[in-house]
Amino acid sequence: MDIFKKLSSLPEISKAQLSKILSINPNRKFLIIEPGLIKPLERVCGVQWLKSNGIEKIFKIEPVAPVFEDNIIFYMIYPDFKVFNQVVNQIRAQVNIENPTNNKYHIVIVPRISQLFVDELEEYGLLDSVVKLHSFQWMPIHLDTGILSLELPLLYKSLYVNENYSLLPVLSKALWQLCFVTGKPRVFLTLGSHSHNVLKQYEGLCQDRGETDKADSDFGAVIIMDRNIDYTSALLTPGIYSGLLSEVYPVKSGVCGSSKMEKQVNEDELALDNKCNPIPKKHQVFY
């Protein structure tokens, strides 16, 4: 099979994983999704596929959730604690703790569950008895010819800004799954400590869960490289640079703001003439 047909078929594997989660409750259900997940999910499965798998209505997460009555609720969010806490508060506002409905509330975390989420639900007495957590890691999404993406906007900030390594196993698992489709390359090259750890975790998965038996690979080599080793190449593509920047600093209407580097600037120093040239500040002269 042609390599591009193989990559285009990756969503079918992701659909099978998501279908397994949704089929935990065979009744009709509502899906409440984080807005940032809508576009990537469209690449994985369409609305018609979701409806064929029991999703009756789809909502975006709002500060105040509508009343769902007896409907089964599936939330889908990124592993952001602030959003997760918002979801838990909405569930607590509607659930009857003394007489909860079994198998009604589900939270699907893309791509994996954080231990903080488990601790939060245990603290409120909601884990498993009221709310069930599910991890859903879709296969790399084939965006264009030769371009794959995991669509994980939190990864860069989590890894390089917050130094949180909890999402590293997601990369190794994605590589391990991809090798079952394309075959295992003969050569792996890593540049950087994070990349080296990803390869070690990949080798651990091969030992624990087995590896592909495909004799040939569609790729001769795989190069895994830490972003901080090659920041310059990101500057060559405006789209990539803007995407990386927006993950670290708030960017609104082309204006980037940073709370870490606030400076008290004198308005007189920023005065401009009618041609937008800076007007030098006049200093008092004493005779």
Distance between CA atoms of residues 121 and 125, nearest Å: 6
CB-based burial of residue 162 (10 Å sphere; 0-12 exposed, 13-18 middle, 19+ buried)?
A: exposed
Of the listed ranges 145-154, 209-218, 244-253, 257-266, the least confidently predicted one is: 257-266
Report the pLDDT averaged over residues 185-213.
92
Report the pLDDT averaged over residues 205-230.
86
pTM above 0.85, yes or no: no
Report the pLDDT averaged over residues 257-279.
51
Structural domains of the chain ordered from first start: 3-135 (3.40.50.2060), 153-261 (3.40.50.1910)
- Using the Cα atoms of residue 229, residue 235, residue 236 and residue 237 in order, give the sign of their dihedral: positive
Question: b/e per residue, 71-101, with b = 16+ CB within 10 A?
Answer: ebbbbbbbbbeeebebbbebbeeebeeeebe
The pLDDT value given to residue 286: 45
In one-letter notation, the amino acid at residue 45 is C
DSSP state of 286: -
Report the pLDDT averaged over residues 250-265.
53
Tokens 């639900």, residue located? 121
* pLDDT tens per residue across span 267-277: 444 555 555 55
- As a whole number, the mean pLDDT across the chain is 83
* pLDDT tens per residue across span 144-166: 777 888 988 888 888 888 888 98
Question: b/e per residue, 117-143, with b = 16+ CB within 10 A?
Answer: beebbeeeebbeebbbbbebbbbbbbe
Of the listed ranges 64-68, 145-149, 174-178, 199-203, the least confidently predicted one is: 64-68
Task: Round the CA-based radius of gyration of the chain to a whole number and report it.
Answer: 24
Would the pLDDT of 47 be above 70?
yes
Query: What is the percent of the chain where pLDDT is above 90?
Result: 43
Report the pLDDT averaged over residues 181-210.
92
| SS3 category, 234 | helix
* pLDDT tens per residue across span 113-133: 999 999 999 998 888 888 999
The pLDDT value given to residue 48: 92
User: CA separation (Å) from 258 to 80, 160, 254?
Assistant: 21, 17, 13
Distance between CA atoms of residues 8 and 148, nearest Å: 10
Distance between CA atoms of residues 234 and 64, nearest Å: 39
Distance between CA atoms of residues 150 and 136, nearest Å: 12
Distance between CA atoms of residues 54 and 67, nearest Å: 19
